[in-house]
Protein backbone atom coordinates (compact mmCIF):
# COMPACT_ATOMS: atom_id res chain seq x y z
CA UNK A 1 0.00 0.00 0.00
CA UNK A 2 1.44 3.37 -0.98
CA UNK A 3 2.13 6.17 1.49
CA UNK A 4 -0.65 8.29 -0.05
CA UNK A 5 -3.21 5.65 0.97
CA UNK A 6 -2.00 5.78 4.55
CA UNK A 7 -2.19 9.55 4.58
CA UNK A 8 -5.75 9.42 3.27
CA UNK A 9 -6.75 7.15 6.16
CA UNK A 10 -6.00 10.01 8.50
CA UNK A 11 -8.37 12.51 6.96
CA UNK A 12 -10.87 11.61 9.66
CA UNK A 13 -9.77 13.94 12.42
CA UNK A 14 -6.64 12.29 13.77
CA UNK A 15 -4.74 14.78 15.86
CA UNK A 16 -1.14 13.82 15.17
CA UNK A 17 0.55 11.34 12.85
CA UNK A 18 3.53 9.82 14.61
CA UNK A 19 4.89 7.32 12.07
CA UNK A 20 4.04 6.27 8.53
CA UNK A 21 6.26 3.42 7.41
CA UNK A 22 4.99 2.19 4.06
CA UNK A 23 7.77 -0.41 3.87
CA UNK A 24 6.52 -2.22 6.98
CA UNK A 25 2.87 -1.24 6.56
CA UNK A 26 2.62 0.49 9.94
CA UNK A 27 0.94 3.78 10.75
CA UNK A 28 0.99 5.19 14.28
CA UNK A 29 -0.92 8.24 15.46
CA UNK A 30 -2.41 9.91 18.49
CA UNK A 31 -5.88 11.32 18.75
CA UNK A 32 -7.50 13.45 21.43
CA UNK A 33 -10.95 12.80 22.84
CA UNK A 34 -13.33 15.73 22.47
CA UNK A 35 -14.73 15.75 25.99
CA UNK A 36 -11.71 15.68 28.33
CA UNK A 37 -8.82 15.94 25.91
CA UNK A 38 -7.43 12.48 26.76
CA UNK A 39 -4.87 11.12 24.33
CA UNK A 40 -5.50 7.83 22.55
CA UNK A 41 -2.92 5.79 20.64
CA UNK A 42 -3.86 4.46 17.20
CA UNK A 43 -1.88 1.84 15.26
CA UNK A 44 -2.77 0.44 11.86
CA UNK A 45 -0.79 -2.43 10.39
CA UNK A 46 -1.30 -3.63 6.81
CA UNK A 47 0.31 -6.86 5.68
CA UNK A 48 0.09 -8.83 2.47
CA UNK A 49 -0.60 -12.54 2.92
CA UNK A 50 -0.48 -14.16 -0.49
CA UNK A 51 -3.40 -12.83 -2.50
CA UNK A 52 -4.98 -11.22 0.58
CA UNK A 53 -4.25 -8.01 2.44
CA UNK A 54 -4.66 -8.12 6.21
CA UNK A 55 -5.45 -5.00 8.22
CA UNK A 56 -4.98 -4.81 11.97
CA UNK A 57 -6.28 -1.70 13.75
CA UNK A 58 -5.80 -0.81 17.40
CA UNK A 59 -7.08 2.24 19.19
CA UNK A 60 -6.35 2.44 22.91
CA UNK A 61 -6.94 5.08 25.54
CA UNK A 62 -3.85 6.02 27.50
CA UNK A 63 -5.78 6.68 30.69
CA UNK A 64 -9.26 6.19 32.09
CA UNK A 65 -11.47 3.23 32.82
CA UNK A 66 -13.97 3.84 30.03
CA UNK A 67 -13.75 5.54 26.67
CA UNK A 68 -17.54 5.65 26.15
CA UNK A 69 -17.11 3.72 22.90
CA UNK A 70 -14.80 6.26 21.26
CA UNK A 71 -12.06 3.75 20.33
CA UNK A 72 -14.52 1.32 18.74
CA UNK A 73 -16.13 4.18 16.81
CA UNK A 74 -12.72 5.38 15.62
CA UNK A 75 -11.96 1.88 14.29
CA UNK A 76 -15.33 1.76 12.50
CA UNK A 77 -14.53 5.12 10.85
CA UNK A 78 -11.14 3.78 9.72
CA UNK A 79 -12.71 0.69 8.20
CA UNK A 80 -15.31 2.79 6.41
CA UNK A 81 -12.62 5.13 5.05
CA UNK A 82 -10.42 2.18 4.02
CA UNK A 83 -13.36 0.64 2.13
CA UNK A 84 -13.80 3.93 0.24
CA UNK A 85 -10.11 4.07 -0.64
CA UNK A 86 -10.03 0.48 -1.88
CA UNK A 87 -13.16 0.98 -3.99
CA UNK A 88 -11.67 3.97 -5.83
Q: pLDDT tens, 28-63? A: 888 887 777 888 899 989 888 899 888 999 999 988
Per-residue pLDDT, 67 = 81
pLDDT at 22: 79
**Residues 64-81 pLDDT 10s:** 777 888 889 889 988 888
Compute, in degrees rounded to 10, the torsion defined by CA atoms 66, 57, 80, 12: 70
The reply to whether the predicted model has a pTM over 0.95 is no
Amino acid sequence: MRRSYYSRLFTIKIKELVVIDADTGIVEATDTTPWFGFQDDVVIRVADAGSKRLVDIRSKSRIGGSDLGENAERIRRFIKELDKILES
